[in-house]
Amino acid sequence: MDVLTYLLATVFNVALVSFIVRRLLGVPVGWPRTIMLSLIFQAGASGLLAWVGRTLGLDLRIGSPQLRQAVAVLLLVTAWLVAVQVALLTARPRSATSTDQHTLRRHKLPPIEPARAGRWVRQARPR
Q: What's the rounded Cα separation, in Å, for the pair 81 and 38?
A: 10
Domains of the chain: total? 1
Note the pLDDT tens digit of each residue in 6-34.
888 888 888 888 888 888 888 778 888 88
- The reply to whether 66 falls in a domain is yes
**Rounded mean pLDDT of the chain?**
77
- The reply to whether 102 falls in a domain is no
- What is the reported pTM? 0.63
Cβ-based burial of 123 (10 A; exposed 0-12, middle 13-18, buried ≥19): exposed
- The reply to whether 126 falls in a domain is no
pLDDT of residue 21: 87
Domain that holds residue 62: 2-95
